[in-house]
Structure 1
Amino acid sequence: MSKPFDMELFLAGVLTGSHVTRQRHLRQARIIQAEISEHWQWQTPWAWQRKHVVWFLEHRLDRNSQATRYYYLLTARLLARRLKRSWEFKL
Structure 2
Amino acid sequence: MTKPFDMDLFLAGVLTGSHATRQRHLRQAKIIQAEITERWQRDTPWAWQRKHLDWFLKNHLEQRGDYTRYYYVLTVRLIARRLGASWVFGL
Task: Give TM class, smaller chain.
Answer: over 0.9
Give the AA of the match of 2:58. Answer: E
Structure 1 unaligned spans of 5+? none
**Corresponding residue for 2:6?**
6
**Corresponding residue for 1:60?**
60
Give the AA of the match of 2:63. Answer: R
**Corresponding residue for 2:88?**
88
**Corresponding residue for 1:38?**
38
TM norm structure 2: 0.99
**Corresponding residue for 2:72?**
72
Moved over 3 A (4+): none
- Provide the identity percentage: 71
Structure 2 unaligned spans of 5+? none
Aligned residues: 91
Whole-angstrom CA distance in 1 between matches of 2:72 and 2:79: 10
Whole-angstrom CA distance in 1 between matches of 2:90 and 2:13: 24
**Once superposed, what is the RMSD of the aligned Cα atoms?**
0.3
Cα displacement (A) at 1:90: 1.8
TM norm structure 1: 0.99
Deviations 1:47-75 (A, max 9, x none): 00000000000000000000000000000
